[in-house]
Amino acid sequence: MIRSRWMAATAFGALMLAAAPAFAQTAQPVAAAAAPAEAPSRGLSLRDMAMMERVSDPRVSPDGRQVVYSVRTTDWDANKGVNSLWLADVAGGEPKKLAISEGGASGARWAPDGGAIYFLSARGGSNQVWRTDRTGAAAAQVTTLPFDVSGFRIAPDGRSLILAVSVFTDCDTLACTKTRLDERAKSTLQAYDRLPLRDFDHWVDTRRTHLFHQPLNGSGLGGGEPRDLMAGLDADVSAGDASFDISPDGKVLVYGTQTQGAGEPFTNNSDVFRVALDGGAPVNLTEANKGADGNPVFSPNGRQLAWLSAPRENVGGDQAAVWLANADGSGAKKLTNWDRGASGLQWRTDGRSLLVSTADEGQQRIFSVDARTGQVTPLTGKGTVGGYEEVAGVLAYAHESYVAPTQIFIRTTGEPRQITHYNAELVARMQLPAAEAYSFAGWNGEQVQGWVFKPVGAVEGRRYPAVYIIHGGPKSPWTENWSYRWNPQIYTSAGYAVVMVNFHGSPGYGQAFTDAINDHWGDRPLEDLQKGWEAALANNPWIDGERACATGASYGGYMVNMIAGKWNGPWRCLVNHAGVFDVPQLMNAMDIGNFIHEFGGPSWERKEVYDAFNPETYVGNWKKPMLVLHGSKDFRVPMEQGLATFSALQRQGVPSRFVHVPDENHWVLKPRTWVDWQQEILDWVGRYTQPGA
């Protein structure tokens, strides 16, 4: 998942989005289509998972009659995903793949009159905006910029676009940026005078993503040179929809960004800016707040402006509230006082309420926020909601769970209705165990939530080996979703019990619960994991606690290394993907400069805290076999962390294996590579947990 700048600033998800009574019911788990005649007979294989169709980004037509959305399929031979666009009728019927999908298509957005669909495609050699009519039969290229367009919005009158484009801020034309890029390509030397140097999986080229105004001609195609609305501004705007909005009259742009120059990498203080599309200097509307402000959205009548605001600077997981003001930013007031952190702010088209998404006790749900009272009402129940949009009283959203991959649901009145059934025949042939939620008294006696899964085909009276999966972030909780990274059903299908816990630091249980991990990476969450494991064994005697392995990635890999030194007794083996060995080195080498505030400041100022919660401190106690996996393009947790982990294991004679993934970043994204990576994990766990091991 790619996070926007707003999400990165507020959630620190670094180590891995008036209430209508008709929407008050809770959504049901995703249902599959009618099952084949034969009964479910097997679990989920790695190849099954890699080849699944992945549904996302539903967009409702202006008349509320159709939904366009994205589907990613897998080209196994080319080892990559392929994106296409599909169209479904809200009233029902079989969805149709748009013919213009050939050559790749994503990011579809409806023209305001509903007569056309705009989308992104790199079929011409670079990522540009294209246009098709409602049938999707043929496409015309809208923009012809000399380099990629990373995102766009259509003006409410349909006569222009706002484009997100990366440029050199001292260039006054796009041609200037292109010339400089061409010149730089002639040399392998890269020089920097300030941070950041790297971003997730690539070295930065010092360009900044600005918003450009692109006029359209009578045919809906680009007409004239786009104009930089942030000309000369040393600032970045994310390409995502949550980063900027256009007023209904098409005269004003609002966006969220940072403007601290060389100090920007060391703070999450972002602000909402307002600028007239016909010219003028941007105006900072939220300068008084030193936390993260972003996701600005105009009300449908253009009279109000809402945005999300987190009050504290550099506090990971600081829960954002909804703020409301007049359209010019005056009269701002806090609308919500809610112990959850909102994201994905949108207005309902009736202007009486807004929509937000948040983690909530192990679910990722949509909530409605009354625009007058701030009252918050849940619209969905169990499961995880990804993208969503409401138009003309039709709410479309992408929903998934622990037992079903993503599908598109529609809500108008009454119960939600599923309108897509991708992977249905495959899922119907599978036996996917349901998650069994449990809770226990964790650190400080506070309630902590976890899940237990039985293995596929579990037989009464038998005991089964187990895998303990530890989430990353650390402020990125488990929610009931269909993960393509750490899916518990991969392990249930291989014959394992699975245990997962949302330890202190996990969002969705209140701000104090999330804050509890600050300055306490290595003790409070570890205590929760220990007590959660004990509770799982006590309540589920079919789990064989003598044949178990602990696994994790990113912060989860950090915790695996801490477990190796401080709690290695229960484990036959350990698995560490993209994990942390030396926290001080990580904080100074990773791509996020302000992440050090997870430890309250830089290592040279807080040495005792770093030493106490640094896996390297406890390496002398390592003795359990460990599998270490790391990607060369991982700049979130640089590969040297994995190399140091493996070196320490080898130096002490601890059984260990290092798996190098040369062309992957912090995640493993290529389908065949993902299968090989997961097979390494299954082989390692199997070696130490099967009978006779």
Q: Are residues 351 and 475 in the same domain?
A: no
Contacts 24+ apart (CB under 8 A), 303-309: 303/327, 304/371, 305/254, 305/329, 306/335, 306/345, 306/347, 306/354, 306/371, 307/254, 307/256, 307/272, 307/345, 308/6, 308/10, 308/342, 308/343, 308/345, 308/356, 309/334
pLDDT at 27 over 90: no
Per residue in 91-129, pLDDT (tens digit) is 999 999 999 999 999 999 999 999 999 999 999 999 999
Q: Are residues 484 and 421 in the same domain?
A: no
Q: Are residues 267 and 328 in the same domain?
A: yes
Q: What is the pLDDT of residue 41?
A: 58
Q: Are residues 393 and 475 in the same domain?
A: no
Do 108 and 68 form a contact (C-beta atoms < 8 A)? yes
Do 141 and 130 form a contact (C-beta atoms < 8 A)? yes
Q: What is the domain-level CATH number for residue 132?
A: 2.120.10.30
Q: Are residues 353 and 444 in the same domain?
A: no
Q: Which among 426, 452, 487 is the end of a domain?
A: 426
Q: Are residues 304 and 452 in the same domain?
A: no
Q: What is the domain-level CATH number for residue 525?
A: 3.40.50.1820
Q: Which among 426, 448, 478 is the end of a domain?
A: 426
Per residue in 58-76, pLDDT (tens digit) is 999 999 999 999 999 999 9
Q: Are residues 418 and 439 in the same domain?
A: no
Q: Round to whole Å and give the CA distance between 394 and 61.
A: 9
Q: Are residues 408 and 447 in the same domain?
A: no
Nearest to 549 by CA among 528, 531, 575, 518: 575
Q: What's the whole-model pTM score? A: 0.94
Q: What is the pLDDT of residue 1?
A: 30
Per residue in 324-365, pLDDT (tens digit) is 999 999 999 999 999 999 999 999 999 999 999 999 999 999
Q: Mark 23-33 as b/e (b = at least 16 C-beta within 10 Å).
A: bebebbebebe
- How many domains does the chain divide into? 2
CA-to-CA dists, residue 317 to 334, 356, 497, angstroms: 19, 16, 30
Q: Are residues 468 and 601 in the same domain?
A: yes
Q: Are residues 168 and 282 in the same domain?
A: yes
3-state secondary structure of 54: strand
Q: Which among 398, 426, 454 is the end of a domain?
A: 426
Q: Write out the residue range of the structural domain in which residue 255 sits.
A: 5-426
pLDDT at 4 over 90: no
Amino acid at 390: E
Angle formed at CA 525 by CA 523 and CA 531, multiple of 5 degrees: 100
pLDDT at 39 over 50: no
pLDDT at 28 over 80: no
Amino acid at 437: A
Q: Are residues 417 and 443 in the same domain?
A: no
3-state secondary structure of 150: coil
Query: In which element (H, E) is residue 492 found?
Result: helix 488-493
Confidence of residue 34 (pLDDT cuts 50, 70, 90): very low
Q: Round to whole Å and give the CA distance between 355 and 352.
A: 11
Q: How many CA atoms lie within 13 A of 509 on its CB side?
A: 25
Q: Are residues 421 and 441 in the same domain?
A: no
Can you tell me which residue has the tokens 């605001």? 309
Per residue in 526-579, pLDDT (tens digit) is 999 999 999 999 999 999 999 999 999 999 999 999 999 999 999 999 999 999
Q: Round to whole Å and give the CA distance between 650 and 667.
A: 25
